[in-house]
A = this chain, B = another copy of it.
Amino acid sequence: MIMNYSEDLKKQKKELIEDLGVCFETCESMSPLSSRIYALLILTGSHGLTFEELTETLCASKSSISTNLQLLQTEGIIAYKTLPGERKRYFKICDNQLNNRIDKRIEGWEKEKALHSKILKYRENLLELNPEITDIKQGIKFNQLQIDLMDAMITNLKNLKQQIQDN
Contact = CB atoms under 8 A, between A and B. Distances in A.
Interface of A: 5-6, 9, 12-13, 16, 19-20, 23, 26-27, 29, 42-43, 45-47, 98, 102, 108, 111-112, 115, 118-119, 122, 125-126, 129, 133, 135-136, 138-139, 145-146, 149, 152-153, 156, 160, 163-164, 167
A145 B164 CA distance: 8
Contact of A129 (B6, B20, B112): B6
Closest CB pairs A-B (n = 7): A45-B135, A156-B156, A12-B122, A29-B29, A152-B160, A27-B108, A46-B135
Nearest to A43: B119
A9 B122 contact: yes
A115 B19 contact: yes
A23 B119 contact: no
A160 to B, nearest CB: 6
